[in-house]
Structure 1
């Protein structure tokens, strides 16, 4: 059941926060085993950011992701760098407003997370929209677990906004999956 997930984009998009929330959803709320690692450029905002989560029901011996089962790309630079490092039957989730590619692979799901977050009132929750979408599309963690982990991980004053972002991402993921995309 091992799932290797890479979330990538640029600093300021909440890539690392998303990976921590996803790992916590798996380990704390779905009673799985998870490990998380991260890497980012020297710039606080705008530099490259990558975070990885491995989820398994058995002990994790090697914590590195070499070829992902799931890739979430939130910038074209991230997709260009990591888009090839996905298993042939893996899932790719992109923000099509930021990752513009001419031929979207059949196994790719375009989730306009930044646009959805903007419509909710704050683009800072685009990462939470993506977490909802990846949960709905892949089932890598349960919807209950991602909800509980998100709510426990965000400041109380942003709880309602994050709940709406998560619900919007789950809805967008279910809609695309229902259309047979991927």
Structure 2
């Protein structure tokens, strides 16, 4: 891992991206790394623009904000258009397959994140956990064991198996590319 990895998770309110950011940060801490997580969402709790940002580092984090993320996850067109031009030079953009691939100099990975949650897992609301699995598989910024533990610590009681299934589906999607 680089000394510092910046991740921006973006979409619309209600997609659970803030929880996804918290899970990635907790997984990093479980792995013995340093992590900072921040969030922002529009005036509408559901449907408005939303983003969560995570900084993960092996070193001390001296600046807690994401400035040039190496990873951008976009689950809506609006989120993609808003954030696609502000990445590190080696940045990657992970988009849902429902979004048209942008014209950009960055590497774009298009995966059926929402469709996997809806059709394979049976609940589109776990797309955030599928996305966490994808990011884990592609970046290896946190271990699978730590991210699974963080998911199980953070999801509502009674949904652990559903979310574990979603996480593993995300691992599979990401592994197809790595």
Shorter-chain TM band: over 0.9
For residues 2-17 of structure 1, the aligned pairs below 5 Å read 2-17=4-19
Q: SS where residue 87 of structure 1 aligns?
A: coil
CA distance in 2, matches of 1:102, 1:94: 10
Distance 1:76 1:60 in 2: 31
CA contact (8 A) 1:111 1:130 kept: no
Asked if residue 168 in structure 1 is aligned to residue 169 in structure 2, the reply is: yes
8 Å Cα contact 2:101/2:108 also seen in 1? no
Distance 2:144 2:36 in 1: 19
In structure 2, the residue matched to 1:180 is none
| Aligned residue-pair number | 175
The alignment's TM-score, normalised by the length of structure 2, stands at: 0.94
Residues 90-129 of structure 1: pairs in structure 2 closer than 5 A:
90-97=91-98, 99-101=99-101, 103=103, 107-119=107-119, 120-129=121-130
Match of 1:26 among 14, 25, 28: 28
| Matched position secondary structure for 1:129 | helix
Conserved in 2, the CA contact under 8 Å of 1:11 and 1:46?
yes
1:65 is matched with which residue? 66
Aligned-pair distance for 1:78? 0.6
Q: Give the whole-Å Cα distance in 2 for the aligned partners of 1:102 and 1:34.
A: 30
Alpha-carbon offset, residue 110 of structure 1: 1.2
Structure 2: any 5+ residue segments left out of the alignment? none
Quick check: 2:101–2:110 contact (8 Å CA) kept in 1?
Answer: no
- The normalised TM-score by structure 1 is 0.92
User: Would the alpha carbon gap of residues 147 and 105 (structure 1) be closer, same or farther in structure 2, given more than 3 Å must change?
Assistant: farther
Tell me the alpha carbon deviations over residues 126-173 of structure 1, each in whole angstroms, 9 at most, x when there is no partner. Answer: 000000001001111111111111011112211111011000000010
Deviates more, 1:46-55 or 1:82-91: 82-91
Q: 1: CA distance between counterparts of 2:112 and 2:104? A: 14
DSSP 3-state at the match of 2:91: strand
